[in-house]
Structure 1
Amino acid sequence: MANEGVVLTHQGVKELEQKLEYLKTVRRLEIAEEIKTARAFGDLSENAEYDEAKNEQAKIEGEIVMLENMLRNATVVDQEDVDVQRVNVGTTVKVLDKEYNEEIEYKIVGSAEADLSTNKISNESPVGRALLGKKVGNLVKVETPGGIVKLKILDIHR
């Protein structure tokens, strides 16, 4: 199954649980109301609103099942157990981009939590994979679609 081996932080578990709760308690009711309204339009064989609502219902139910499986099978990283001597899932790492002389801070998370807009990068991404296991002071070369990026690790913390 695709969700085997999912790594989550406690914050990631909390966020997925909240999303699951929202889908179950809010979105299910909204979709049920949309289906009820669409049925009132008459002939279901040519009712685009009904078809769309049923498709959305199937999508939501699939997402609920996926989230439940992900949460059930996840390995949760305990922040207190994270070794900050090396980059690991659950650590935040400050790096210096050698080309642009720019400092960037990334939180290393499992792929289910990755969100580049908040600088949460997956341990499976090229940058995340290259940083894993490294120590402060190490220089890391990362092959990206835009070329090779050189990062110097400045700090590792929780």
Structure 2
Amino acid sequence: MTSIPISQEGYKLMKKELDSLKKQRPEVSEAIRLAREEGDLRENGGYHAARERQGMMEARINFIESRMARYNVIDMKTLGGEKISFGATVELEDVESGEKKRYTLLGPDETGFCKGSVSIQSPVGLALLGKSVGDEVVIQVPRGRVEYEVLSIAFNGPAITLDEE
């Protein structure tokens, strides 16, 4: 079983989502029960919508629970170095156009929480891993192959801000 890197903040957000989904279970079950009481289930849109919501919710719960045991939780404040790795914020320049891009490399389950992030398991993330400032990297993107130069690498600590309750 392969471990999945995730920041402490990303882990907390995944746990929060899981807890929230589990709290919704009784509400969804009640919606199904009420819709069932309306009669013929074949033409009961409310019943089918509630069952679909339940199915999607349970699938997400199962997905998160299956990954929780595989998470390798990383404290972003302890990261550093001169090579691109998990937690690095990287500035790149397109060698041809001069366009600059900035990415923070995070785990695949937390990139949706952080604008400007990319999964270390994505083609872009995999191409960047291990590179240093000044290195050139070729990345396959939808428009074709693009060559970038690594301009800077920084480890800025948490990439995701949490609203502490």
Give the TM-score normalised by the residue count of structure 1.
0.85
- Number of positions where the alignment pairs a residue of Structure 1 with one of Structure 2: 155
The 5 Å alignment of 1:55-134 reads 55-115=52-112, 118-134=115-131
Distance 1:137 1:128 in 2: 17
Q: Aligned residue for 1:24?
A: 22
Distance 1:117 1:100 in 2: 26
Give 1:8 shift: 0.9
Sequence identity of aligned pairs in percent? 34
From 31, 39, 44, give the equivalent of 1:34. Answer: 31
The 5 Å alignment of 1:41-56 reads 41-56=38-53
Give 1:116 shift: 9.4
Equivalent position SS for 1:87:
coil
Distance 1:151 1:125 in 2: 16
**Superposition CA RMSD, Å:** 2.1
Change (3 A) 1:63 1:120: same
Distance 2:50 2:102 in 1: 42
Segment drifting more, 59-68 vs 44-53: 44-53
Segment drifting more, 47-56 vs 109-118: 109-118
Q: 1:116-146 deviations in whole A, cap 9, x for unaligned?
A: 9811101121211111001111111112231
Q: Aligned residue for 1:143?
A: 140
Distance 2:132 2:110 in 1: 23
> After TM superposition, where is structure 1 displaced by more than 6 Å over at least 4 residues in a row?
none
Give 1:55 shift: 2.7
Give 1:57 shift: 1.1
Give the TM-score normalised by the residue count of structure 2.
0.82
Give 1:13 shift: 0.6
